[in-house]
Chains A and B, each alone.
Chain A
Amino acid sequence: MYRIFLLLVLILPFITSCRKESPYSPDRVIIGIPSDIQTLNPLYAYTVDEGAISELLFLSLVTFKWDEEKGNLKTVPMLATDWIWNSDSTSLSFNLREDVYWSDGIQCTAEDVLYSFDLYSDPVVQSKLLGSFKSLYLNDDSSIDLDKSFKILNPFSIQINFRSDAAPVLPEIIFPLIPKHVFSKYERKDIATAKENLEPVTNGAFKLSDWSKNQSVTLRINENSFLYNNSSIKEIIFKVVPDYNSRLTQLKKGEIDLTELVKPDDISELKRYAHLSIKPVKGREYDYVGWNNIDPDIYQREGRFISHKLFGDARVRRALTHAINRKEILEEYLLNYGELAAGPVSPIFKEAIDPNLKPHQYNPSKAKQLLAESGWTETDKDGILQKGKLQFRFTLHIPSGNPRRSYAATVIKNNLRAVGIDVNVITLEPGVLIEEFYSRKIDAWMMGWFVPIPVDLKMSWYSDLEVTPVNFVGYGSAEADQLLDKMEKRISVDEYNQLLKEFQAVINRDEPMTFMYWLDNITVYNNRISNMDISPLGVVHHCWEWTINN
Chain B
Amino acid sequence: MKSRIKIWHFILLLWLLIVIFRFDRIIDAAGFLFLSAQLIFTAPGFVFDQLDFSMVDFIVSVKLIFLLPFILYIFRKKAAIIFRSSNLSSSVVILLLFGFIFSPVISNTHPDFYKNIGMTRLLPPLSTVLILHLKEVATHTEGATGNFLKLKESLIKKPFDEKIIFIDSLIVADEVVYYQKGLPVKMSLTGIEMKNSLPLITKRMFILGTDEFGRDIFTRLMYGTRTSLSIGFLAVLISLLAGLILGYLAGYAGGVIDLILSRLTDMFLAFPVIFFVVLILALFGNNFISIVLVLGFSTWMSLFKIVKAEVLSVKTKDFFQTAKLIGLSKTRLLLREVLPVIMVPVIVNIVFQYGNVILAESALSYLGLGIGNELPSWGSMIESGQEYIYKAWWMIFFPGLILTGTLLAANSIGRNISKYFNPRLD
Contact = CB atoms under 8 A, between A and B. Distances in A.
Is A–B contact present in the complex under a CB 8 A cutoff? yes
B285 A414 contact: no
Nearest to A433: B285
Interface in A416-451: 417-418, 424-429, 432
Nearest to B388: A265
A410 B372 contact: no
A545 to B, nearest CB: 35
Contacts of B114: 414
A448 B52 CA distance: 36
Interface residues of B, number: 30
A372 to B, nearest CB: 16
Given A269-B391, A328-B118, A426 B287 contact: yes
B426 interface: no
A383 B50 CA distance: 10
Contact of A245 (B50, B162, B213, B389): B389
A381 B212 contact: no
Given A401-B368, A424-B374, A265 B391 contact: yes
B390 interface: yes
Given A245-B390, A269-B391, A400 B213 contact: no
Contacts of A241: none
B160 interface: yes
B159 A417 contact: yes
Contact of A427 (B112, B286, B391): B286
A415 B114 CA distance: 10
A332 interface: yes
Interface string B262-295: 0000000000000000000010011100000000
A410 B390 contact: no
B374 A400 contact: no
B117 A425 contact: no
Interface in B41-72: 49-50, 52
A409 B114 CA distance: 14
B331 interface: no
Nearest to B140: A381
Interface string B151-165: 000000011101000
A321 to B, nearest CB: 18
Contact of B117 (A328, A403, A432): A328
B390 A332 contact: no
Nearest to B116: A328
Given A403-B387, A425-B374, A418 B49 contact: no
Interface in B378-426: 384, 387-391
B373 interface: yes
B149 interface: yes
Q: Which of A401, A407, A414 has the most CB of B within 10 A?
A: A414
A269 B390 contact: yes
Interface string B105-125: 000000010100110010000
Nearest to B215: A410
B351 interface: no
Contacts of B149: 381
Contacts of B387: 403
A470 interface: no
B369 interface: yes
Contact of A429 (B212, B285, B384, B389): B285
A331 interface: yes
Q: Which of B369, B387, B388 has the most CB of A within 10 A?
A: B387
A382 interface: yes
A403 B374 CA distance: 14
Contacts of B373: 406, 409-410, 425, 427
A426 B372 contact: yes
B160 A414 contact: yes
A395 to B, nearest CB: 10
Contacts of A407: 212-213
Given A400-B286, A414-B160, A425 B372 contact: yes
A141 interface: no
A417 B160 contact: yes
Interface in A505-540: none
A400 B372 CA distance: 8
Interface in B226-280: none
Nearest to A424: B374
A274 B286 CA distance: 43
Contact of A331 (B118, B160, B282, B390): B118
Contacts of B391: 265, 269
B375 to A, nearest CB: 10
Contact of B285 (A333, A413, A417, A428): A428
Contacts of A400: 286, 368-369, 372
Contacts of B384: 403
Contacts of B287: 426-427
A409 B159 CA distance: 14
Contacts of B369: 400
Contacts of B282: 429
B354 to A, nearest CB: 26
A432 B390 contact: no
Contacts of B112: 410, 413-414
A433 to B, nearest CB: 10
B285 A332 contact: no
Contact of A332 (B52, B117, B388): B117
Q: Which of A265, A382, A400, A403 has the most CB of B within 10 A?
A: A400
A380 interface: yes
Contacts of A383: 158
Nearest to A269: B390
Nearest to A244: B387
Contacts of A410: 112, 213, 373
A380 B213 contact: no
A331 B180 CA distance: 13
A432 B286 CA distance: 12
A436 B248 CA distance: 43
Nearest to A407: B212
A331 B282 CA distance: 33
A414 B113 CA distance: 8
B76 to A, nearest CB: 43
Interface string A378-397: 00111100000000000000
A411 interface: yes
A419 to B, nearest CB: 10
A427 B372 contact: yes
Interface string A98-131: 0000000000000000000000000000000000
B222 to A, nearest CB: 19
B29 to A, nearest CB: 21
B372 A418 contact: no
Nearest to A325: B117
Contacts of A382: 49-50, 52
Nearest to A402: B368
A189 B286 CA distance: 38
Nearest to A400: B368
Interface of B: 49-50, 52, 112, 114, 117-118, 121, 149, 158-160, 162, 212-213, 282, 285-287, 368-369, 372-374, 384, 387-391
Given A269-B390, A381-B149, A426-B372, 8 more contacts: A265-B388, A328-B118, A332-B121, A382-B52, A406-B373, A411-B213, A414-B114, A414-B160
> 6 closest pairs, A vs B, by CB?
A427-B372, A332-B117, A418-B160, A401-B368, A400-B368, A332-B118
Interface of A: 245, 265, 269, 328, 331-333, 380-383, 400-401, 403, 406-407, 409-411, 413-415, 417-418, 424-429, 432
28 contacts: A245-B390, A269-B390, A328-B118, A332-B121, A381-B50, A381-B149, A382-B49, A382-B50, A382-B52, A400-B369, A409-B373, A410-B112, A410-B373, A411-B213, A414-B114, A414-B160, A415-B160, A417-B159, A417-B160, A418-B160, A418-B162, A425-B373, A426-B287, A427-B286, A427-B287, A427-B373, A429-B282, A429-B285
